[in-house]
Amino acid sequence: MSANEYSSSSSNQGHSALPGLFNLRARAWAAWKRHRNERVLENLSYDTLKDIGFPSVDDAVHKTEQ
């Protein structure tokens, strides 16, 4: 194996790991954004959550039987 063949084969192995690293980075970024959004929602008041459409925890208790 010549030096050129060895360097090209080793560089191909290095590039094969790049898609996996980019995928890992994208998943980590998405998880961080999801966590950040959940933290923001947890800090909203009950009335604000109702205004934007989140169901009330006690809706089942206050519904009347028909």
Question: Could you tell me the residue ranges of all domains in the chain?
Answer: 25-66
State the residue for tokens 């009335």: 47
What is the pLDDT confidence band of residue 36, given thresholds at 50, 70 and 90?
very high
What is the pLDDT confidence band of residue 49, given thresholds at 50, 70 and 90?
confident
Over residues 17-42, the mean pLDDT reads 90
Distance CA 1, CA 4 (A): 8
Q: 39 pLDDT exceeds 90?
A: yes
* Cα 3 from chain centroid (whole Å): 43
* Cα 18 from chain centroid (whole Å): 20
Q: Which pTM does this prediction carry? A: 0.49
Torsion of CA 8, 11, 13, 16, to 10 degrees: -120
Q: 59 pLDDT exceeds 80?
A: no
pLDDT confidence of residue 47: 86
